[in-house]
Structure 1
Amino acid sequence: MLSFKTINKARFSVTALLIAASMGAAGIALLWKQQPPPPPDPKLAELTQRVKTIETSLAQATMALDIERKTISEMNSTLLSLQAESLEQQLALRFYQKVMAPEYTANGVHIEKVILTQGISDRHIRFEVLIAQLEKRKRYIKGNLALEILGSFDGKPQVLKVSEMVKSAKDLKVSFRFFQHVKSNFDLPEGFMPERLKVAIKMPRQRGQKAANVTQEYPWNELIKLPMQPILPGAS
Structure 2
Amino acid sequence: MVSVRDKQRRYRRLQVIVATLALAVVLLAGFYLGQRAAYSGMGLDPATYQALGEEVPVLRADVARLEGELDVQEARHEMDQQALELVRQEIAAQKEHIATLEEGLRFYKSLMAPGEIAQGLSLRSPELVALEREGQYAYRMVVQQETLKHSLLKGYLRVEVEGQLDGEPVTIPLAELSPDVDSDRINLRFRYFQSIEGQLTLPEGFVPSQLRLAATATSPRKAEVTELFLWQVQARFTRVGK
The alignment's TM-score, normalised by the length of structure 1, stands at 0.48
